[in-house]
Structure 1
Amino acid sequence: MFVLICSGGRTGAQLASLLIAMDHDVRVVENRPDVLSRIHLELPTEVIVEGDVMDLKVLEQAGIRDADVLAATTTSDENNLTLCYLARTLYHTRRTIARVNNPRNAWLFDSKFYVDVAVNQAEILASLIQEEMSLGDMITLVKLRRGNYSLVEEKIPAGARAVGKAIKDLPLPEHVVIAAIIRKGEVMIPRGVTAIEEGDEILAVADLEGARELAELFSAPEYSSRPSSGQNGEKGLGRIIRR
């Protein structure tokens, strides 16, 4: 995959490093002397294209006509919106990703300017806090399908309602599939007759609401009886891990 990154600031340079490590073809456009001196130490020289990201000739030199993805990571929301718009309308770039610098401008980053994905740090933090308060001890390992589904993990504590019950007898939420059970260090493929044991680590695919219900089903009695997030101001005890 060929990714064109517009701006070699900290965000753009780190993104480039990660993509290069995953064997993607990457170009970074940058013209600030201080930034160029730094990224020439961090990135291969052939990856860096020196020039103004708002100059179409520079973008064409960087290969925008062949780019699969354009990532607009400048510190200007106006520039990021313009870059996404130009990439799609002039060069038919398949995917556009834009950094949102000012959360007040987030409403602009949608199909009007051909932004496929808007990276809004304030929104991401708010989402993390919301999930932190609602999923108890459940851990989110991976987000699937742009955040609609997740691979979650829950370790079964003593006294959980699910202990001793076969999977087929559990009141599993509609949008939840138990994918695997890790028991005493061994990975098991679950069957309907497989009974849940204390200490099992359950891996499941679930949407957000399903994950909340699953956390309740697998939690210890002292936690499951507490009010959920938003009731009496009491917070859950969990943590969220994203990769």
Structure 2
Amino acid sequence: MRVVIVGGGKVGSYLAALLLEGQHEVHIVENRPQVLSRLHRELPTEAIVDGDGLRRETLDLAHADRADVLVTVTGDDEVNLAIALMAKTVYKIPRVIGRINNPRNAWLFTPEMGVDVAVNQTDLLAKLIVEEMSLGDMMILLRLRKGEISLVTEKLEPGAPAEGKRVADLPLPQDCLLVGAIREGDILVPRGDTVLQAHDEILALVRTGSHTAFRNLLANPTRAEAVEAEAED
């Protein structure tokens, strides 16, 4: 895949290094001397383009005309929007990803402005903190479909509603699918007649909004109430 990254800060340089490790063709655009000096220590010289990402001649040097993806991660939202719009309208780049620095500007990062995917780091962090506070012991392993669906894992506690029940008899949330269980080091594929036991580590695909209902099946009601009461205090 051919990728152009505009912005050589920590996010841009780290992304470039990851993509280069994956054998992708990468060009990273930067014009700040001190940042360029660091980039030349971290990345191959042929991947670095010295210039202003708002100028066509710079993007031409970065081969934006044949890029599959352009990622603009400068620290200025106005610059990111201008680059995204140019990438989409002038270079017809199929996938344009833009970084949002100020959450109040998120409403501007739309397909109409050339942005296919907007990355709002502040919003993601805030939502992650709130989610981690509400999920208790549940751990999210993987997010799919832009975060709508998660692969999660949680241990089945003694006294939980699901303990001793067959999978077929579980009142699972509508948007929840059990995909595996780990019991004493062995991996089980849950079937309708599989009986869940305390301390099983359950893996499931769960849609956002169904996490709490799924967690309540695996948690001891008494402990869950105590945790909620403690949180309210």
**The TM-score by the shorter chain falls in which range?**
over 0.9
CA distance in 1, matches of 2:94, 2:227: 45
Count of residue pairs the alignment pairs up: 233
CA distance in 2, matches of 1:223, 1:112: 49
One-letter code aligned to 1:195: V
- 1:234 and 2:222 aligned: no
TM-score (norm 2): 0.94
Point out 4+ residue stretches in structure 1 off by more than 6 angstroms. Answer: none
CA distance in 2, matches of 1:187, 1:2: 39
Partner of 2:113: 113
Partner of 1:98: 98
Give unmatched runs, 5+ long, in structure 1.
236-243
TM-score (norm 1): 0.90
One-letter code aligned to 2:106: A
Alignment map for 1:45-60 (pairs within 5 Å): 45-60=45-60
Decide whether the 8 Å contact of 1:168 with 1:193 is kept in 2. yes
Deviation, structure 1 residue 48: 0.8
CA distance in 1, matches of 2:129, 2:66: 39
Aligned-residue CA RMSD (Å): 1.8
CA distance in 1, matches of 2:89, 2:223: 53
Partner of 1:239: none
Alignment map for 1:29-40 (pairs within 5 Å): 29-40=29-40
CA distance in 2, matches of 1:117, 1:223: 41
CA distance in 1, matches of 2:68, 2:223: 47
Identical aligned residues as a percent: 47
Alignment map for 1:154-233 (pairs within 5 Å): 154-225=154-225
Decide whether the 8 Å contact of 1:137 with 1:219 is kept in 2. no
Decide whether the 8 Å contact of 2:101 with 2:122 is kept in 1. no
Deviation, structure 1 residue 108: 0.9
Secondary structure (helix, strand or coil) at the match of 2:210 reads helix
Secondary structure (helix, strand or coil) at the match of 1:171 reads coil
Partner of 1:24: 24
